[in-house]
Structure 1
Amino acid sequence: MRSLMAEARAARHIAVIDEATLEFTRDGVAGASLSSIAKRVGLTRAALYNYCTDRQDLVFQCYRRACSLTQSDLLRAYETPVSGAERLGMFLKLSVDLDHYPVAVLSEIAVLDDEQQATVRKDRAQNVELLKTLLREGQEDGSIRDCDLEVVCQAIFGVLSWAPLIRIWLKKSEQEFAARMAAAIPDMVMNGVVPLGNRFPSTHRRIAEILGDTPRTEREQRMEEFARTGSKLFNRRGIAGVSFDEIALEMGMTKGALYHHFESKPEFVSFCCARAFDIYERVMDAAEACETGLEATMTAIELDVEAQLSDIYPLWLTTGLGAFPAKTRAKLAKRNERLAARSFELARRGIADGSLRPFDLEPVKLAAPGSFTYLSTWLPPANERRAAQIAQEVSRFLLLGLRRR
Structure 2
Amino acid sequence: MFNEHGIGAVGFGDLAKRMGVGRATFYHYVADREDLIFRCYQRSCEAETERLDLASEAPTGLPQVLAFMELSLSAEAEQTAVIVDTSVLGDAHRTIIERAQRRNYDRLAAMIGAGIDAGNIRPCDEQLIARILPSIILFARMSGRWLPGRPGAADPEAVVDFIANGSAARRDTDIRVYKNADDFARITLADFGDRKISDLKMEQILMKGSWLINRHGVANVSLEDVAGAMGATRGTVYHYFSDREDLVRKCLERSFEIYDAFVDYAAAHGRNGLEKAAIVSHLNTQAMAGSLQPVAGWMGLDALSQASQKHVTKRLREVLARTEAFAEEGMADGSRRRHDHKAVTVARAGAYLWIPKWIGDIEQPSPHRIADEVVALFNLGLAAG
Do residues 157 (structure 1) and 134 (structure 2) align?
A: yes
After TM superposition, give the deviation of residue 318 of structure 1 in Å.
4.2
Match of 1:379 in 2: 359
After TM superposition, give the deviation of residue 64 of structure 1 in Å.
1.1
Q: Specify which of 165, 168, 171 is matched with residue 194 of structure 1.
A: 168
Do residues 177 (structure 1) and 155 (structure 2) align?
A: no
Distance 1:246 1:202 in 2: 39
Distance 1:203 1:182 in 2: 29
Q: Specify which of 132, 142, 146 is matched with residue 123 of structure 2.
A: 146
**Which range moved further: 321-330 or 376-385?**
376-385
Distance 1:399 1:86 in 2: 19
After TM superposition, give the deviation of residue 33 of structure 1 in Å.
2.3
| Structure 2 unaligned residues grouped into runs of 5+ | none
Distance 2:317 2:78 in 1: 28
Do residues 211 (structure 1) and 191 (structure 2) align?
A: no
Q: 1:332 to 1:142 in 2, by over 3 A?
A: same
- Cα pair 1:248 1:255 within 8 Å, conserved: yes
- 5 Å-filtered alignment, 1:6-405, equals 22-23=1-2, 25-80=3-58, 82-172=59-149, 176-177=151-152, 181-211=155-185, 213-214=187-188, 216-289=195-268, 290-380=270-360, 386-405=366-385
After TM superposition, give the deviation of residue 198 of structure 1 in Å.
4.1
Q: 1:83 to 1:384 in 2, by over 3 A?
A: closer
Q: TM-score, normalization: structure 2?
A: 0.91
Distance 1:340 1:101 in 2: 24
Q: 1:294 to 1:187 in 2, by over 3 A?
A: same
- Cα pair 1:71 1:127 within 8 Å, conserved: yes
Deviations 1:282-328 (A, max 9, x none): 11111111111122111111100010011222112344534421111
- Cα pair 1:235 1:315 within 8 Å, conserved: yes
- Cα pair 2:152 2:342 within 8 Å, conserved: no
Distance 2:314 2:152 in 1: 19
Deviations 1:56-97 (A, max 9, x none): 2222112111111111111101023x2422222211111111
After TM superposition, give the deviation of residue 104 of structure 1 in Å.
2.5
After TM superposition, give the deviation of residue 212 of structure 1 in Å.
6.6
After TM superposition, give the deviation of residue 203 of structure 1 in Å.
4.2
After TM superposition, give the deviation of residue 162 of structure 1 in Å.
1.0
Distance 1:385 1:165 in 2: 27
Distance 1:209 1:380 in 2: 24
> Root-mean-square deviation (CA), in Å?
2.2
After TM superposition, give the deviation of residue 151 of structure 1 in Å.
0.7
Corresponding residue pairs, total: 379
Counterpart amino acid of 1:186?
Answer: V
- Cα pair 1:231 1:314 within 8 Å, conserved: yes
1:380 aligned counterpart, secondary structure? helix
Q: 1:203 to 1:35 in 2, by over 3 A?
A: closer
1:368 aligned counterpart, secondary structure? helix
- Cα pair 1:109 1:236 within 8 Å, conserved: no
2:8 aligned counterpart, secondary structure? coil
- Cα pair 1:31 1:320 within 8 Å, conserved: no
- Cα pair 2:181 2:292 within 8 Å, conserved: no
Distance 1:162 1:340 in 2: 14
1:111 aligned counterpart, secondary structure? coil
Distance 1:320 1:228 in 2: 15
Q: 1:400 to 1:94 in 2, by over 3 A?
A: same
Deviations 1:336-375 (A, max 9, x none): 1110111011111211121111111111001101112212
Q: 1:31 to 1:339 in 2, by over 3 A?
A: same
Distance 2:233 2:170 in 1: 58
| Structure 1 unaligned residues grouped into runs of 5+ | 1-21
